[in-house]
Amino acid sequence: QKITKDKKIATGLHILGDVYTKSKNLSSIVKVKRGISNIIKKNGLTELGSFYHQFHSGGFTGIVALTESHVALHTWPECGYLTLDVFVCNYTSKNDKVCKKVFDEINALFDPTRINVRAIKR
């Protein structure tokens, strides 16, 4: 189907989270990277590649490219905070439940005390 100015086709779900936590995983790039890859695989998504960077302050940033879109996160251990971005789209199947599950499972890696979530149909 073509997308025109008057008609938008929802192809996926994009969940953005502000996550507050006291978890040591805010600095554990190796553990989190392994955990995210396992979550992606377990939920039937396809990881194309990833890039992670550790900052001197202890935080890190990570981006995982999926055939179905992406996962991105940025941590600030000194603030007990991270941002999490999960977008799953696909023209051939509805992946809203998978997107929510991946978002929730990644959050669980950080044992959050509070989460602010925004979900966008795209």
Catalytic annotation, residues: 69, 74, 89
Please give the Cα distance from 89 to 94 (Å, whole number): 8
Q: Please state the length of the chain.
A: 122
In the three-class reduction of DSSP (H, G, I as helix; E, B as strand; rest coil), residue 39 is classed as helix
Q: Which two tokens stand for residue 29?
A: 């790039």
CB atoms within 10 A of CB 59: 19
Please give the Cα distance from 27 to 29 (Å, whole number): 6
